[in-house]
Structure 1
């Protein structure tokens, strides 16, 4: 797997025809085009290279700024665990750098987003929750036991706020997904990130029994899916309902998408540093164990050589003792023993001595050669 930045991929696709560039990268034309579209990298228009070959002037579309939540890294090829670890050990991970401060991004997003207002009507409902609304209305007509969910004023208001928010966010290519029969699981797609949000009714305590209960809504950007914590939240107030805060909310959703992307890169970097240190410590441990095993092997080898030396010396002495003994016996006067028997015994005894003698049998030279 090779990883390219958006700028590197832009330079590649504008360096030659798509079929040539895709071949270099091991991709099909369509595969390379998909990578470019996903990374918001502009492609040369049809006929660009023919015009250039014919001598016409052509313009290169510059690379636009990275949209919020979009990754700046494009990975092409098959991921290989061993190759990834090898590269990780060769070079220390580089921490991510972000040129645009979050506050500057927030201002740019707010400027490009414009004013976001709640929908005045739910006709038709937004595609993100249209199925839930239609199913609820159909069940109400089919069964008198079904209590409609979205007939309540607070629920209608809630959906109008969501619908206006979704339409506003779509101006910057964000998408919305709403799950659950009561439309309580909501995520906003910001680039390659999913931002989980919630819009719920807030229970308000009445100061007295005569005072009318006020139904208020609270909009929250969650820390993650299924997480009980909020990153940031807004609530209806007497002077400013949520409808008046939708522009700020929409901009902050996109900013949070970018923040999630940056936090992910920080996590990836920290994880790479941790894994590299773990592999480095593992490599040190393996080297220490190998050195220990080598020391133990040498100690055992030296002990074996010493034993062979002492055994050879003892065998040499035993062989010499046998030879001296045989000489003494042969020199004695024979008493009713056939000389041939004595000769055969002498030959056998000296053969045993030669088998024991490391010099006579040549085993001493093996020991000498091992010590070289």
Structure 2
């Protein structure tokens, strides 16, 4: 069944219904997505209840409702659509009863309160206590002996005392109260995220995930761009609980909020999932289409605006990967929020530290082997060069000795061949000295040429080549 014409509602009516029924309640009333009603309220400057509003209201705490601000928009267009089919499953979580609605048209799920709470408000109802303790759970048996033994087996690389301490802290991990002071490292990083998000060039409705920013010359800081402003406080509380637990175990956290566990760096990848919804044409895009239709009548080269078909809206559901390892993924599910899984997440982080340690040591061993092989190659090269130099020096000395013998033979033959004049005697004396200069055994130093230097390897082959 095709969609009918949009229904026009005044800003005042939308404002009143949002504060009476919640965003999720209004979305259900008109059969549209949570992301779409959220976007329409933002475009029309309609304030929405902040995180924790319905929790405080349900618990009788004082709440405030801001007045409807002025806007140039007087009416909001609500698309008329087929009433979505909703599958409801009730899950008893202590004080909160959760309904899980599956809207077939969007192939997505919204976890909402039976009455009128948004997904994050249900979470607030479950967590809105001072330092609420949440035990790590796996198939509802986290406190059982079997689960304890299972987790213990995963930490066998640790001594028993350290293993038991980790399991105890994982079982007692606590979520800070929403008004609790942030850890100093989180408070500092929060300003970094705010500043980066302020300068982010991605337009509203664009797809946002760590992979969407991978092409950036410099990747955004941790949490920037991939978590909505409304969900960031929840992420900071999760990180606060993990940091407190790891610091109790002797670890620490860096300025960029990566964890130092057993002297190894363990990082988390945290991002908020997004709903894919049909793109709602903005006024600017309407003007572009109108201009295109006008230009098309006059110019053959008119180009149709390239408008995207879908928008991506943050839905409040979080996902955590350890060291960008998507095999070990923690996420909000239909039956358990991330806050319920922090004990197991802590154990996985310690497991990851061991994997990282083994990987680092393997790389260091490989590097050591490469360096040792390079050292042996350099040592062999030096020994080879020394041997070459010694061999060349030997041949030089042998050649010089042979030359000395030739000179002496020649001088001896000259002396016995005829009577020698005074000039011949002086020359023979000079020649004998030159023979002693060549002879490496005598190594006579010449008054002009100095020492022969036949022990200097290759140098002696060319230094006095003119003499030979």
Give the TM-score, by structure 1 length: 0.43
Structure number with higher helix proportion: 1
Give the TM-score, by structure 2 length: 0.35
Structure number with higher strand proportion: 2
- Structure with larger RCO (C-alpha < 8 A, sep 6+): 1
